[in-house]
Each structure stands twice: as structure tokens, then as C-alpha cells.
Amino acid sequence: QVQLQESGPGLVKPSETLSLTCTVSGGSISSYYWSWIRQPPGKGLEWIGYIYYSGSTNYNPSLKSRVTISVDTSKNQFSLKLSSVTAADTAVYYCARVRWELRYWYFDLWGRGTLVTVSS
Amino acid sequence: SYELTQPPSVSVSPGQTARITCSGDALPKQYAYWYQQKPGQAPVLVIYKDSERPSGIPERFSGSSSGTTVTLTISGVQAEDEADYYCQSADSSGTYAVFGGGTQLTVL
């Protein structure tokens, strides 16, 4: 059974770069798309972007200038970097598997999420 | 930017039917997906492609679509269904994912 686990610092200083990793266990990262989604405390979900195992990416236009998603197939991991963070980036960050059916896509498997707080 | 609109809250008594709507201009072109999120937990997919139910999801969960509105219906609501529900779709080109603001379902 495939499982996703987020990891990374829980506290990041303003203006610095947030870095998180998602480890895929119980299955291969290959042949799938993988995504990051976040949720500020008490608020709704926001899609950040996705990456294919080959490395192609697609980002939310509202975050595109600050986001980089990368993949390491040898480690069965993909990662998120969000630069120049502010308090507004404080959120629970989820990694998720993207399911494609023809030209439609959605999130069929989620990690448990990790809280990242931006504060000095 | 594209938005999906959900009511902030819906309340029903146990055994009744709950209906949660989600509106968006691109919904006639794009499928909708529904996620259930209980406090402190990750979202779980309960409906995909407007009305399909993943394996393991109870039959009381169903979805429908009409024009620019999609609806999640929970028949015979149980106390365990109390959660936040989010709709998700894509912009008209299918390039970017968008979530609705979420609906808090309260079982009275």
C-alpha cells in the first residue's frame, strides 16, 4: 500500500526558503505525477504545483515566482522549495499523488501533512 | 483567478440527507472532485469525476452535476460524516487545480 510522508523544518524565518520532502513508500514514484497542497490554519486548501517523475512541472500562477518542485527517483522522493516566505506561508503542507484520467486530474492519495510556521 | 464557491456550513440531523453545492463557471467543462477532511487529518477523496465513488467510500455518498453547479449528497447522514468537505476542479483549460472554500457539515 502506497504511503506518503512529508518531512522538513517546522519553523522557518521570514524571507528565508521553506524546504520540504515527500517520501513515497510501498510503491514506485515512477509513472505518476506528484503534488504539493497547503492549508493555512483554519482555512481552505490551496494547490501549489505538481511534478512528473520525469521532472516536468506545473505551478499555481499565484506562487509560481517563488516555487520549485523537484524529484529524486533514486530516493523515491520529491521536494518543495518556497522562497522569500512570510507569515502568510504558515500552513500545513501536504504532499499528494496525482491521478490522471485522459485530460482530467485529481488527488487520490495524500500524506498526513506537516505544519510549517514562518516566524522569527 | 478562477474560483469555486461553496456554502460555509450545512447542518443536518442524523438519518437525513445533506446536500453540499459547489459553483464555478468552468464546471460544465471540467469534472469536480470532493474531499472529506476531519479535524487534524488529511483530506480523503470521496467522489471523483462528478459522481464516481472510490472503493471503500460508503454508498451514501453520491455526486451530481448540473450546469455550473455540482452537488455532493450524503444520504442517511451519520455522526461520523461530520467533517469539512472541499470541492476541487480545474480552470477551463484543465491546467490549474482549484479548491472551493470548504463546507463544514454539522450533524445535529
pLDDT tens across B33-70, in order?
999 999 999 999 999 999 999 999 999 999 999 999 99
Look at the block and give the residue holding cell 500552513: A91
Q: Give the pLDDT band (50/70/90) at residue B104.
A: very high
Give pLDDT, residue B99. Answer: 98
Contacts 24+ apart (CB under 8 A), A62-69: A62/B1, A69/A36
Per residue in A63-103, pLDDT (tens digit) is 999 999 999 999 999 999 999 999 999 999 999 999 988 88
Residue type, B30: Q
Per residue in B62-86, pLDDT (tens digit) is 999 999 999 999 999 999 999 999 9
Distance CA B100, CA B88 (A): 6
A61 contacts in chain B (CB < 8 Å) = 1, 96
Which of A46, A59, A103, A107 to probe by mutation at the B interface, max B CB count within 10 Å?
Answer: A107
Rg of the Cα atoms in chain A: 14
A113 contacts in chain B (CB < 8 Å) = 42
| Grid coordinates of A11 | 519553523
B88 touches chain A (CB under 8 A): yes
Is B52 buried (19+), middle (13-18) or exposed (0-12) by CB count in 10 A?
middle
Distance CA B43, CA B27 (A): 21
CB-CB contact of B88 with B6 (8 Å): no
Distance CA B108, CA A116 (A): 34
- Smallest Cα distance from B40 to chain A, Å: 9
